[in-house]
Amino acid sequence: MNIKDLFLEFFEKKGHKIIPSAPVVPENDPSVLFNTAGMQPLVPYLMGQKHPYGTRLCDSQKCIRTNDLDEVGDVTHHTFFEMLGNWSLGDYFKEESITWSFEFLTKVLNIPVERLAVTVFEGDDSVPRDEVSANVWRSLGISNNRIAYLGADDNFWIAGESGPCGGDTEIFYFRSEDEIPEVFDPEDDRWVEIWNNVFMEFYKDENGNVSELPHKNVDTGMGLERIAAVLEGVNDNYMSSVWKDIIEKIEQVTNLPYEGNEESMRIIADHLRTAVFISADPASIKPSNTDQGYILRRLIRRAIRHAKKLNIDINSDWDKEIALMIIDKYSKYYSEVVDNKDVVLEVLQTEKNKFNRTLEKGLKEFEKVTTGYAFDVLDKDIAFKLYDTYGFPIELTIELARELNLDVDVKGFNEKFKEHQEKSRAGASQKFKGGLAGNGEIETKYHTATHLLNAALKVVVNKDVHQKGSNITSERMRFDFACDHKLTDEEKVKVEELVNKWINEGLDVTFEEMSKEDAIKSGAECMFIDRYPDIVTVYSIGDVSKELCGGPHVKNTKELGHFKIKKEEASSAGVRRIKAILE
Ligand code: SER
């Protein structure tokens, strides 16, 4: 059995419900482009909301971290990973959490105790030194030499700047063949962190104020890619069972050995795998120049460039073959990759066609301007031309330049970029650096407005209109829906009027829990029925809207202010997109 199955089975036996992975694009969290940790989709429940599956949960969450995207190519970095996690929502706390982690590692994965060490929180002005955790570790046979007390920088966990948080205890594994030192030194990189148990008891707001959560939670996270590499004793992660078959596929497609071509093969493996998961996501992300779409574009274009480096005939089906293999590999756990197989292949094909038209010429241009000239910094105008005319994401130009030991005038490029582009990519790059913000007041309003818009479209346009995705920031809401035509001006006005009428009527927003069956029978709107558990929360707004939803929402529509559609445009074939604001 593989590690993922062993993990889920173990925690199921300990009374946990296995929940499906949330999509990679957060459904109600505008502050991050992608889920970067297993706890992110669970924030409302960590904050006190009742989870329909109960108080003990576990899963394998699809995560994407893109801040090191350009580092991919070495032995450790990758952009997509699966995070194994178990949660207690006000149920068990430190003792059970630590005991079960230890039991799983030593009894199920059979890791010898001598190879393990831990860190615990040494405490600060507001939180005491975590002797409780340290004592549990001791009672399990971890010696004092193997317990390091560290400060908040290491052992206090929060996603970004604000949100649920708490002290943690991290588990390390001695990865080397060397003799295992008696005393654990967390700075010694032969000790690799494999699992993090966070004891989430606090909430930090945007102003830095810390308060206690309604109940004490446990949030643990173990990266599958890392634990697999560690246990299999490989120094190159891409040689572990998680990657090996993908690399073999690339060897087969390119007819080249991995040895000597590692960098490009790792980039192709990683970037195509992540591109598969992004484009298979229910959020219907397509390559573009902003937000998630820009990440998808960078991934695909960088993979294509490295395929070219390996002399692959770009126009062949190399990418399709690799993507199909990846889809097959993950089909058992994530049905969306199979259900959206055609979409994934279409995204790859379309983006490849677009980039192919200019890649060759762009590379020639790059060669022309860099050959025979002595300069250290590539000019902003060249970088911009490569972007604008040849479709080279700036990061790709930086990578090309780096190969010639050249810097790029990125600042100058950005200025030019801002001048030329309405939509600034800068917002996006800020966002994926940032962490998780709570569901702020304004986002909550937009969330409720989304339900009203959905209902109004059904009345005004067609009762078969249904939601395909939504995204909320503190500045606006975006709503994608299946619809076969561009809305007429009249339709737009009517939709706006209807939403505002409902707002002005001061309708109460209420929710109730019911079985999924009853919810469907009651006619409640639901985007992805399979993703919901047996017991669901249904939000009603007066009698105009009824939707399966996790919340949060305002209490009364009066709170929303005035609703205004800013834009209606095509999102993809058969899907329209509305951007709207509350003012
Ligand atoms: N949230 C913690 C982490 O991501 C534990 O799951 O490390």
Quick one: DSSP state of residue 71? G
Rounded distance between C-alpha atoms, residue 314 and residue 549, angstroms: 43
Of all atoms in ligand 1, which is nearest to the CA of residue 222? Answer: 6
Q: How far is the CA of 53 from the centre of ligand 1 (A)?
A: 20
Q: Which of 65, 98, 168 to mutate to test the pocket of ligand 1 (most atoms within 8 A of CB)?
A: 168
Round the average pLDDT of the chain to a whole number and report it. Answer: 90
Closest ligand 1 atom to 85 CA = 6
Contact 291, 64 (CB under 8 A): no
Query: How much distance in Å is there from the Cα of 40 to the middle of ligand 1?
Result: 9
Q: Which atom of ligand 1 lies closest to the CA of 198?
A: 5
Q: Residue 413 in contact with residue 383, Cβ under 8 Å?
A: yes
37-47 mean pLDDT: 93
Indicate whether 436 pLDDT > 70: no
Q: What is the pLDDT of residue 439?
A: 61
User: Which of 339-353, 406-420, 463-477 comes out lowest in average pLDDT?
Assistant: 463-477
Q: Read off the pLDDT of residues 303-313 as tens digits, 9 standing for 90 and up.
A: 999 999 999 99
93 SS3 class: coil
In this prediction, residue 434 carries a pLDDT of 29
* Confidence band, pLDDT 50/70/90 cuts, at residue 224: very high
The percent of residues in the chain predicted with pLDDT above 90, rounded, is 72
Residues whose beta carbon lies within 6 Å of some atom of ligand 1: 37-39, 85, 157, 196, 198, 219-221
258-281 pLDDT, tens per residue? 999 999 999 999 999 999 999 999
| Tokens (6 digits) for 170 | 């991290």
Torsion sign, CA atoms 471, 472, 478, 479: positive
Q: Atom 3 in ligand 1: which residue has the minimum CA distance?
A: 221
The answer, yes or no, to whether residue 502 has pLDDT greater than 50, is: yes
436 CA from centroid of ligand 1 (Å)? 12
Contact between 142 and 153 under an 8 Å Cβ cutoff? The reply is no
| Residue nearest (by alpha carbon) to ligand 1 atom 2 | 221
Measure 555 CA to ligand 1 centroid, in angstroms. 32
**pLDDT score, position 56:** 98
Q: Separation of 165 CA from ligand 1 center, angstroms?
A: 10
Q: Ligand 1 pocket: which of 98, 121, 218, 220 to mutate (most atoms <8 Å of CB)?
A: 220
Predicted TM-score (pTM) of the model is 0.73
Indicate the SS3 state at residue 410: helix
Q: How far is the CA of 109 from the centre of ligand 1 (A)?
A: 20
Q: What is the DSSP string of 217-245?
A: EEEEEEEHHHHHHHHTT-SSGGGSTTTHH
Q: Which pLDDT score is estimated for 64?
A: 97
Question: How would residue 527 be classed by pLDDT, with cut points 50, 70 and 90?
Answer: low
Give the integer Cα–Cα distance in Å for 508 and 497: 19
Please tell me the distance from the alpha carbon of residue 494 to that of residue 459, in angstroms, as a whole number.
10
Mean per-residue pLDDT, 103-120: 97
The tokens of 400 are what? 């090309």
How many other CB atoms are there within 10 angstroms of residue 368's CB atom?
Answer: 11
Q: Is the pLDDT of residue 36 over 60?
A: yes
Task: Give the Å distance between the CA of 488 and the centre of ligand 1.
Answer: 47
- pLDDT for 530: 56
> Which residue among 83, 89, 194 has the greatest number of ligand 1 atoms within 8 angstroms of its CB, and so is best to mutate?
83
User: Ligand 1 test: best mutation among 89, 198, 218, most atoms within 8 Å of CB?
Assistant: 198
* DSSP codes, 520-557: HHTT-B-S-GGGS-SEEEEEEETTTEEEE------SBG
Q: Is the pLDDT of residue 517 over 50?
A: yes
* pLDDT per position as a tens digit, 536-561: 788 999 999 998 877 778 999 999 99
Neighbour-count burial for 121-153, b at 16+ CB within 10 Å, e otherwise: bbbeeebeebebbbebbeebebeeebbbebebe
| pLDDT at position 571 | 75
**Percent helix, strand and coil across the chain, each rounded to 5?**
45, 25, 35
Distance 62 CA to ligand 1 centre (A): 13
Determine the residue of 82, 157, 194, 200 to mutate for testing ligand 1's pocket, defined as the one with the most ligand atoms within 8 A of the Cβ atom. 157
Report the separation in Å between the CA atom of 500 and the middle of ligand 1, taken as the mean of its atom positions: 41
Tell me how far CA of residue 240 lies from CA of 66, 224, 379, 426, 546, in angstroms.
21, 11, 41, 36, 47
CB < 8 Å & 24+ apart, contacts of 560-564 = 560/445, 560/448, 560/449, 560/452, 560/503, 561/445, 561/503, 562/500, 562/503, 563/449, 563/452, 563/453, 563/496, 563/499, 563/500, 563/503, 564/496
Determine which residue's CA is closest to atom 6 belonging to ligand 1: 221
Distance of CA 397 from the midpoint of ligand 1 (Å): 34
Q: Which atom of ligand 1 is nearest to the CA of 159?
A: 1
Ligand 1 geometric centre to CA of 235 (Å): 24
Assess contact for 296 and 285: CB atoms under 8 A: yes
Q: Kindly give the distance from the C-alpha atom of residue 44 to the centroid of ligand 1, in angstroms, as a whole number.
A: 16
Task: Name the residue with the closest Cα to ligand 1, atom 4.
Answer: 37
